[in-house]
């Protein structure tokens, strides 16, 4: 005779079908709520303090101001061939050294001749524009190489309007994080730290000037200037300052890092110009990364139609 | 320590392998597509670096021989010197082909206008007569004294090469500074040798001794 063993689970413990269905519904609801929450934050929400949330998907719309008809530089080249002296002066060093920099939390001090002077987190800066935009731009380095990069960001003009600069604000000064602990390149005085850059107000307000937080649809890698950087496509690359912690509205032309390092070689304006050579090398041609032959460098990096009016009446040789 | 012909042959083979290694590395990386985002820049920097290394190694042999008394070392000097010329040639070809695409007017403008190109061009130019007269026949034909005088051009070439590197970098002079320091030591030692030789040379008594 077989003795029936009592069941391991008492029938009272079995979840009633109704409750079970309810729980499913609850989870579904929770997921919907989560998605709604994620949609309200522009940057990926799952990142934790002390993290560097590089390479996460961003929501953005395409922009009419993107450069058309250029082949994009491969992501691998954009993320392994960098000038970011804070992480080393060799091109491959930023990719090797930058990943340890925590970019959460990150605040940008907006200050000086501005009404809404305070600390902003990156998220609140991005909310000053309706949505993130993809901007495909050529990038021309002063070293005579170039890339085509699909940035994701917002126009700097939207931020400037939102923070309401006073009438005294004639220039905008930018500053990179200064943290020799996290940025090993700053332990040597290759440049005067922190890295600083600046724009004239009309340059800063120009629709092509953006604050970028991503490229190729994902949040910036640290070697590309995470979490937030400037991109000014008609100027040499070093003007597009990375990992910004301070934006200051000022009355007088602010100092800029490469101009401090070598005033006879790097001017304040630093507009791409094939006619004005670097004292040590020609700027007439450039090597597009991935191409064998060199191509002709274009005035204002090919954006003359949009930006030349900013400089009418100025001697571009003198104000280089 | 007397070196047999065979030992020197072995040492020379090692030098051949060591000096060709950078070239093989370049070729291997090139074939594997591992020269980075800007391969031509990589080749330019690499060939330039190895030119300097070979040049400074060549300049190190004479002081090393005198300090250690190992006179056989002198028999390695020509080989390393020719490798300096070899990498210098590759560096130069990279410039005229992959950078300038044989645009002669542009190159002339470069050499005239840009001090760092001028210095590099001079460094290379001065190596040509040295390479051309590197055979035993050339030494016989020229006579030892003249030959030696001509080959002192390597000092100017070495200085020009380091200056070329120094002027080329944008802000971080650490690496060229290392080469400059090594060169300064190698030329400094020669100066010390010279002064020492002058002081200890027997000859007409010096004025101060007479006084």
State how far the alpha carbon of A65 is from the alpha carbons of A60, A62, A136, A233, in Å: 14, 9, 8, 11
Q: Where are the alpha helices (DSSP H) in B71-173?
A: 77-93, 104-113, 115-132, 136-142, 144-151, 153-168
Residue B25, pLDDT > 70, answer yes
User: In the prediction, which pLDDT does B69 show?
Assistant: 92
Lowest average pLDDT, out of A23-32, B18-27, B138-147, goes to: A23-32
Tell if the CB–CB gap between A85 and B106 is shorter than 8 Å.
Answer: no
Report the residue of chain B nearest A192, measured CA to CA. Answer: B171
Tell if the CB–CB gap between B38 and A76 is shorter than 8 Å.
Answer: no
Contact indicator for A103, A53 with CB cutoff of 8 Å: yes
Name the residue among A81, A89, A282 with its Cβ closest to that of B38.
Answer: A81
Residues from chain A contacting residue B41 (CB–CB below 8 Å):
145, 287
What is the CATH T-level fold of the domain A51-259, as seen in this structure? Sulfite Oxidase; Chain A, domain 2 (3.90.420)
Which of A77, A89, A236, A277 to mutate to test binding with chain B, by most B CBs within 10 Å of its CB? A89
Select from A306, A248, A320 the least CA-distant residue to A277: A320
Tell if the CB–CB gap between A89 and B101 is shorter than 8 Å.
Answer: no
Name the residue among A85, A191, A293 with its Cβ closest to that of B101.
Answer: A293
| pLDDT level of residue A18 (50, 70, 90 thresholds) | low
User: In the prediction, which pLDDT does A37 show?
Assistant: 45
For A35-82, the three-class secondary structure string (H helix, E strand, C coil) is: HHHHHHCCCCCCCCCCCCCCCCECCCEECCCCCCCCCCCCHHHHHHCC
Report the residue of chain A nearest B174, measured CA to CA. Answer: A190
User: In the prediction, which pLDDT does A217 show?
Assistant: 96
User: In the prediction, which pLDDT does A280 show?
Assistant: 87
Name the residue among A76, A145, A190 with its Cβ closest to that of B38.
Answer: A145
Contact indicator for A280, A228 with CB cutoff of 8 Å: no
Tell if the CB–CB gap between B36 and A91 is shorter than 8 Å.
Answer: yes
State how far the alpha carbon of A20 is from the alpha carbons of A7, A9, A17, A30, A32, in Å: 21, 17, 5, 15, 19
User: In the prediction, which pLDDT does A35 show?
Assistant: 45
Measured distance between the N- and C-terminal CA atoms of chain A, rounded to whole angstroms: 102
CA distance linking residue B117 with residue A125, whole number of Å: 46
Name the residue among A81, A188, A191 with its Cβ closest to that of B36.
Answer: A81
User: In the prediction, which pLDDT does A33 show?
Assistant: 46
User: In the prediction, which pLDDT does A40 show?
Assistant: 62
- Looking at the complex, report in whole angstroms how far the Cα of residue B85 sits from the nearest Cα belonging to chain A: 25
Residue B203: Cβ within 10 Å count: 6
Contact indicator for A224, A78 with CB cutoff of 8 Å: yes
User: In the prediction, which pLDDT does A48 show?
Assistant: 67
Which residues on adjacent β-strands are paired with residue A150? A136
- With tokens 């000037």, the residue in question is A209
**Contact residues, chain A to chain B, C-beta under 8 Å:** 76-77, 80-81, 85, 89, 91-92, 143, 145, 188, 190-191, 261-262, 277, 279-282, 287, 289-290, 292-294
- With tokens 């051309």, the residue in question is B132
User: In the prediction, which pLDDT does A5 show?
Assistant: 57
Residues from chain B contacting residue A261 (CB–CB below 8 Å):
171
User: In the prediction, which pLDDT does A97 show?
Assistant: 95
Report the residue of chain A nearest B164, measured CA to CA. Answer: A280
Select from A219, A187, A220, A214 the least CA-distant residue to A87: A187
pTM tops 0.90: no
| pLDDT level of residue A38 (50, 70, 90 thresholds) | very low
Residue A32, pLDDT > 50, answer no
Contact indicator for A238, A258 with CB cutoff of 8 Å: yes
Residue A173: Cβ within 10 Å count: 21
Residues from chain B contacting residue A143 (CB–CB below 8 Å):
170
- Looking at the complex, report in whole angstroms how far the Cα of residue B33 sits from the nearest Cα belonging to chain A: 11
Position with higher pLDDT, A140 vs A3: A140
CA distance linking residue A235 with residue B71, whole number of Å: 59
Average pLDDT of chain B to the nearest whole number: 92
User: In the prediction, which pLDDT does A23 show?
Assistant: 53
| pLDDT level of residue A1 (50, 70, 90 thresholds) | very low
Tell if the CB–CB gap between B110 and A282 is shorter than 8 Å.
Answer: yes
Residues from chain A contacting residue B172 (CB–CB below 8 Å):
85, 89, 188, 190
User: In the prediction, which pLDDT does A34 show?
Assistant: 45
User: In the prediction, which pLDDT does B1 show?
Assistant: 56
Lowest average pLDDT, out of A17-31, B40-54, B80-94, goes to: A17-31
| Structure confidence by residue, pLDDT tens digits, A64-78 | 999 999 999 999 999
Lowest average pLDDT, out of A9-18, A106-115, A273-282, A289-298, goes to: A9-18
Tell if the CB–CB gap between B36 and A290 is shorter than 8 Å.
Answer: no
Lowest average pLDDT, out of B58-62, B110-114, B178-182, goes to: B110-114
CA distance linking residue A243 with residue A240, whole number of Å: 10
Q: What is the ipTM of this complex?
A: 0.83
| Structure confidence by residue, pLDDT tens digits, A138-181 | 999 999 999 999 999 999 999 999 999 999 999 999 999 999 99
| Structure confidence by residue, pLDDT tens digits, A207-227 | 999 999 999 999 999 999 999
Starting at the edge strand that comes first in sequence, how are the strands of the sheet with A244-250 ordered?
A118-121, A107-112, A244-250, A171-176, A196-200
Residue boundaries of the structural domains of chain A: 51-259
Q: How many CB pairs under 8 A join A and B?
A: 47
- Looking at the complex, report in whole angstroms how far the Cα of residue B44 sits from the nearest Cα belonging to chain A: 14
| pLDDT level of residue B4 (50, 70, 90 thresholds) | confident
Average pLDDT of chain A to the nearest whole number: 90
**Contact residues, chain B to chain A, C-beta under 8 Å:** 36-38, 40-41, 99, 101, 106, 109-110, 113-116, 167-168, 170-172, 174
CA distance linking residue A117 with residue A126, whole number of Å: 16
Residues from chain B contacting residue A281 (CB–CB below 8 Å):
114
Residue B40, pLDDT > 70, answer yes
| pLDDT level of residue B170 (50, 70, 90 thresholds) | confident
| Structure confidence by residue, pLDDT tens digits, A249-304 | 999 999 999 999 999 999 999 999 999 999 888 999 999 999 999 999 999 999 99
Tell if the CB–CB gap between B36 and A92 is shorter than 8 Å.
Answer: yes
């Amino acid at each position: 005779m077989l003795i029936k063993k009592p069941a391991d689970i008492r029938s009272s413990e079995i979840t009633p079908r109704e409750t079970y269905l309810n729980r499913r519904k609850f989870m579904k609801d929770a997921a919907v709520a989560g998605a709604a929450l994620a949609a309200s934050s522009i940057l990926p929400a799952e990142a934790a303090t002390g993290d560097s949330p590089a390479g996460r998907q961003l929501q953005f719309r395409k922009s009419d101001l993107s450069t058309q008809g250029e082949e994009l530089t491969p992501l691998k080249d954009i993320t392994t061939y960098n000038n970011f002296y804070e992480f080393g002066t060799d091109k491959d060093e930023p990719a090797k050294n930058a990943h340890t920099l925590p970019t959460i939390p990150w605040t940008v001090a907006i200050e000086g001749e501005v009404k809404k002077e305070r600390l902003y987190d990156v998220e609140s800066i991005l909310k000053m524009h309706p949505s993130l935009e993809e901007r495909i731009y050529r990038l021309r380095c002063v070293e005579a190489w170039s890339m085509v990069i699909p940035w994701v960001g917002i126009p700097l003009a939207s931020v400037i309007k939102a923070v309401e600069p006073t009438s005294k604000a004639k220039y905008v000064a930018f500053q990179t994080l200064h943290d020799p602990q996290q940025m090993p390149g700053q332990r040597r005085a290759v440049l005067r730290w922190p890295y600083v850059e600046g724009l004239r107000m009309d340059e800063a307000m120009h629709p092509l000037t953006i604050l970028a937080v991503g490229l190729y649809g994902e949040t910036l890698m640290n070697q590309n200037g995470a979490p937030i950087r400037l991109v000014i496509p008609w100027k040499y690359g070093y003007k597009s300052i990375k990992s910004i912690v301070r934006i200051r509205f000022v009355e007088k032309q602010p100092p800029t890092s490469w101009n401090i390092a070598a005033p006879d070689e790097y001017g304040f304006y630093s507009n791409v110009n094939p006619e004005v050579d670097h004292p040590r090398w020609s700027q007439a041609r450039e090597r597009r990364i991935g191409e064998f032959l060199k191509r002709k460098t274009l005035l204002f990096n090919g954006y003359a139609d949009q930006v030349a009016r900013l400089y009418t009446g100025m001697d571009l040789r003198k104000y280089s | 320590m007397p070196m047999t012909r065979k030992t020197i042959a072995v040492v020379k083979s090692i030098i051949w392998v060591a000096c060709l290694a950078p070239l093989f590395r370049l070729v291997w990386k090139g074939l594997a597509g591992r020269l980075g985002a800007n391969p031509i820049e990589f080749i330019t920097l690499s060939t330039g670096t190895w030119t300097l290394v070979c040049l400074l190694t060549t300049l190190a042999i004479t002081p090393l021989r005198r300090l250690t008394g190992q006179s056989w070392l002198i028999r390695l000097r020509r080989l390393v010197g020719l490798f300096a010329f070899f990498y210098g040639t590759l560096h130069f070809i990279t410039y005229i082909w992959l950078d300038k695409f044989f645009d002669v007017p542009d190159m002339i403008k470069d050499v005239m206008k840009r001090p760092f190109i001028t210095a590099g061009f001079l460094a290379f130019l001065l190596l040509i007569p040295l390479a051309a007269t590197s055979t035993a026949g050339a030494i016989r034909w020229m006579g030892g004294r003249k030959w030696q005088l001509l080959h002192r051009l390597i000092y100017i070439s070495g200085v020009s090469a380091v200056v070329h590197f120094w002027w080329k970098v944008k802000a971080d002079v650490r690496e060229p500074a290392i080469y400059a320091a090594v060169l300064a030591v190698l030329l400094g030692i020669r100066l010390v040798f010279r002064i020492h030789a002058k002081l200890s040379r027997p000859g007409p008594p010096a004025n101060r001794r007479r006084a």
